[in-house]
């Protein structure tokens, strides 16, 4: 075997080995992304936008959530899913209004038109900062089921009631 043939075979072997190593690295990377990496060094981790079950809700001057069952619905006037939820609330007032507190995340001026559409509901305006500090909510719409001041369910959709 000549020196050129041996060099060519060595080069082909090195390229095949490099290809194998890169393929295995890519598979490992795809598996870790699909499984959802939860380590502290994960730079892509996002903060939770809804509170976890068991979170004790803070105090609100406008409503006593410390006792009993309550549904807190948080919407913003500018978000399309919130407007859809507003329509659902308006058309189903008999099933949701009994224990629901609708928090409009915005100003008192933004609360007015929404409160007019929801006459059977208790409605208040809160700031985004208050929504984050009292309820630990950063994404809207938010629907929290609260029992004796503790979150039992947190979602972006209304629970189906029959």
pLDDT at 2: 85
**Cα-trace Rg, the chain:** 26
Contact 127, 107 (CB under 8 A): no
Q: Print the SS3 string covering the chain.
A: CCHHHHHHHHHHHHHHHHHHHHHHHHHHHHHHHHHCCCCCCCCCCCCCCCCCCCCECCCCCCCCCCCCEEEEEEECCCCHHHHHHHHHHHHCHHHHCCCEEEEEECCHHHHHHHHHHCCCCEEEEECHHHHHHHHCCCCCCEEEEEECCEEEEEECCCCCCC
pLDDT at 47: 57
Percent of the chain with pLDDT over 70: 90
For 20-67, write each residue's pLDDT tens digit.
888 988 888 887 776 554 444 444 444 589 999 999 998 888 888 999
pLDDT at 40: 46
Q: Which residue has the higher pLDDT, 45 or 14?
A: 14
Q: Is the full-model pTM beyond 0.75?
A: no
Q: Which residue has the higher pLDDT, 45 or 143?
A: 143
């Amino acid at each position: 075997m000549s020196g050129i043939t041996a060099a060519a075979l060595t080069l082909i072997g090195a390229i095949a080995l490099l290809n194998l190593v890169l393929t295995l690295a890519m598979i490992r990377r795809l598996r870790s992304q699909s499984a959802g990496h939860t380590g502290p060094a994960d730079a892509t981790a996002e903060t939770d936008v809804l509170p976890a079950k068991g979170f004790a809700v803070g105090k609100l001057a406008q409503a006593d959530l410390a006792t009993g069952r309550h549904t807190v619905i948080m919407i913003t006037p500018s978000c399309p899913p919130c407007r859809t939820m507003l329509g659902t609330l308006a058309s189903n007032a008999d099933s949701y209004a009994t224990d629901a507190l609708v928090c409009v995340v915005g100003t008192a001026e933004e609360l007015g038109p929404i409160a007019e559409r929801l006459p059977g509901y208790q409605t208040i305006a809160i700031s985004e900062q208050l929504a984050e500090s009292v309820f630990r909510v950063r994404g809207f719409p938010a629907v929290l089921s609260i029992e004796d001041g503790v979150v039992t369910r947190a979602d972006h959709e209304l629970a189906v009631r029959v």
